[in-house]
Amino acid sequence: MKKIVARNLLLLSLIFLFFFSAPAQRRERLIDIWNPAHYDVSLTFNDSLSELTSVTTEINVSVREYDVSVIDFDFGAMPVKSVTVDGRTAKFNQHDDKLDVYLDPPTQGKRLTRIVSVTYSGKPKDGLILTNDKDGLPSAVGDNWPDRVHHWIPCFDHPSAKATVRFRITAPARNEAVANGILESKKDNPDGTRTWVYFEPKRISPYNMVVAVGQFATAELKAGSSIPISYYVTHSDRQFAEQGFSPAGPSVNLFSKMVARYPYGKLALIVGATRFGGMENADTIVFAPNLFQDFATKKQRGVRFNIPSGVEGVVAHEIAHQWFGDSVTEATWADLWLSEGFATYFAGLFLQKYEGEAAFRAYMKDNAAEYFAYEKIARTPIHDTETEDLFALLNKNNYEKGSWVLHELRGMLGDKVFFAALKNYYNQHKGSTATSEDLRAAFEKASGKNLREFFDRWIYQSGHPVYKIFWTQVDAKTIELTLEQKQPDAAFLLPVTVEIITARGKRRVQITPTGKTSSLKLRSAKPVGITIDPDAFILKEVISN
């Protein structure tokens, strides 16, 4: 009896410790019972673009389990008028940003497709922004990241729930309208409205589904590209659009060579309502209304395109997302760096190609400084499974540190292996989702190296190395280099290149740490200088002697 009581008390203690001291895991809604295969969204706007007078969204739903009686869509507060399932009126319950649609009879087989049609109207609380543009004219622009599309489209609002989409947009004919995909048709209606139909045949995430309607100035860019690139801007911005978007064609061409063919059929560049500097909706990017505000100033400009450096960077960044984030999408929010870290680094690669090595190094140095400042406030891993506020994931870990992790892999493995790995990773997961472990597998296959420790330390743990190096004389011809790591947490075992400067010239050696202190003996004249990581491939701080 006493042993049993003691054992039960121990068990209760362990349970208490687990629930009250273990870090809380973020709950994500992942695909299990059902998933959307296709959306058909018909939107009709009123004359002032201030309201949706009628919306019908038809969703092809693939049901994965036996005996499913309800499809629980994410949906906002716009009043639902009616719901049908396979053409028959269905019961539904709208509550707490959910729309429960009841199936009668319940599904009786695996992978059974049901067609759910929802009719509603009103003004979305979020996601589709109905407001005046910077010229004071009415506009409607989708702005959905991370999970705000459900305010205007009933959906499975998670990036892994990718589907094809067709938009039918009816609005006053004085407007222009654009959406994901290729324009299938454009028709003038007797009541002075016009209907545009766009179809995106590639599966995209809900937050990538977008429409934009307004009195845009629009044209196709003259710069050569493998796909048609057009812009939609306010009339006051028209004078800047051709030059401002001039990096777009070269970005598409460069990234197509580096990774793979551009994944979509067109690229539309919009200046409109978004809370971000740019939002990478698949083939239909929205940039902030102030994108061109510095064109009249003397702010630093790139040499190649003669536009403000910030504009050049954000255009390349959002276009890089078309491959990484849009085509290959993060499987969970913890894998967000596979989107943002990639786009940040590829914007740097664009600068390296068109603005030169010095501009690239300065860009990466700025990224490092941004991350170091952030780490003093929040010491968390890139692969963050705990942060509940998804907007808080738009941080220096997922952007700047993520870009440096890629740069370190490039430095460690060399350009040939690095880009081969990225191509394999992309081709294996294009049109789908990927995890950090999928990326590790691609790099291991391309390099033949075991990168588990690298990913564990850089992705799943926090921090960065803080190096200190010194040398001692062993004998007349031999010195010993000692590399110490001064950061408070575990050692980083990434190989470190050291450049030794002597009266006879420069020499490079490599130290592969096995712990926080590592030494290397070598024949050398007396050093007059030592540089850690001379090619700047490691995200690090260095303490001088």
Q: In this predicted structure, what is the pLDDT of residue 10?
A: 37
For residues 344-378, one letter each, b for 16 or more C-beta atoms within 10 angstroms of the residue's C-beta and e for the rest, the string is bbbbbbbbbbbbeeebbeebbeebbeebbebbeee
What's the pLDDT tens digit per position in 94-128?
999 999 999 988 777 666 889 999 999 999 999 99
Q: In this predicted structure, what is the pLDDT of residue 15?
A: 35
Cα→Cα distances 535→358, 361, 408, 482, Å: 12, 9, 11, 20
Question: What would the two tokens of residue 319 be?
Answer: 């276009």
Q: In this predicted structure, what is the pLDDT of residue 4?
A: 34
Q: Residue 453's CB: how many other CB atoms inside 10 A? A: 11
* Residues 198, 184 contacting (CB under 8 angstroms): yes
**H or E stretch including 249?**
helix 248-258
- In whole angstroms, give the CA distance from residue 539 to residue 543: 14
- In whole angstroms, give the CA distance from residue 345 to residue 363: 10
CB burial class (10 A; 0-12, 13-18, 19+) of residue 31?
Answer: middle
| Backbone φ, ψ for residue 305 (5° rounding) | -110, -5
* Residues 127, 211 contacting (CB under 8 angstroms): no
Give the closest residue to 502 by CA, choosing from 483, 476, 529.
529
Q: In this predicted structure, what is the pLDDT of residue 17?
A: 35
Give the closest residue to 54 by CA, choosing from 116, 122, 138, 139.
122
Q: What is the pTM of this model?
A: 0.93
Q: In this predicted structure, what is the pLDDT of residue 545?
A: 73
- In whole angstroms, give the CA distance from residue 19 to residue 244: 53
> Which DSSP category does 328 fall into?
B
CA within 13 Å, CB half, 513 = 23
Beginning with the edge strand found earlier in the chain, give each strand of the sheet holding 478-485 in spatial order: 517-523, 478-485, 466-475, 541-542
| Backbone φ, ψ for residue 166 (5° rounding) | -125, 130
DSSP 97-135: TEEEEE-SSPP-STTEEEEEEEEEEE--SSSEEEEE-TT
Q: In this predicted structure, what is the pLDDT of residue 109?
A: 65
**The dihedral of CA 177, 180, 182, 184: what is its sign?**
negative
DSSP 331-364: SSGGGTHHHHHHHHHHHHHHHHHHT-HHHHHHHH
Q: In this predicted structure, what is the pLDDT of residue 114?
A: 93
- Average pLDDT along the chain, 545 residues, taken 10 residues at a time: 36 37 72 94 98 98 86 97 97 98 81 92 98 97 98 98 98 98 98 98 98 98 89 97 96 97 98 97 98 80 89 97 98 98 98 97 98 96 97 98 98 98 98 98 98 98 97 91 96 97 93 96 92 97 90
Residue identified by tokens 């042993």 is 3
How far is CA 92 from its chain centroid?
Answer: 34
What's the pLDDT tens digit per position in 411-433?
999 999 999 999 999 999 999 99
User: Is residue 390 classed as helix, strand or coil in its secondary structure?
Assistant: helix
Instruction: Summarize the chain as % helix, strand, coil (round to 5).
Output: 30, 35, 40
**H or E stretch including 248?**
helix 248-258
Amino acid (one-letter) located at 202: K
- In whole angstroms, give the CA distance from residue 508 to residue 119: 68
Q: In this predicted structure, what is the pLDDT of residue 105?
A: 83
Cα→Cα distances 321→208, 228, 229, 326, 369, Å: 11, 17, 16, 6, 23
Q: In this predicted structure, what is the pLDDT of residue 432?
A: 98
Give the closest residue to 153 by CA, choosing from 126, 115, 185, 181.
126
Q: In this predicted structure, what is the pLDDT of residue 112?
A: 85
Query: What is the number of H-type helices and E-type strands within the chain?
Result: 10, 29
**Which residues, in sequence order, are CB contacts of 270 under 8 Å at separation 6+?**
141, 178, 212, 216, 231, 232, 233, 284, 285, 286, 287
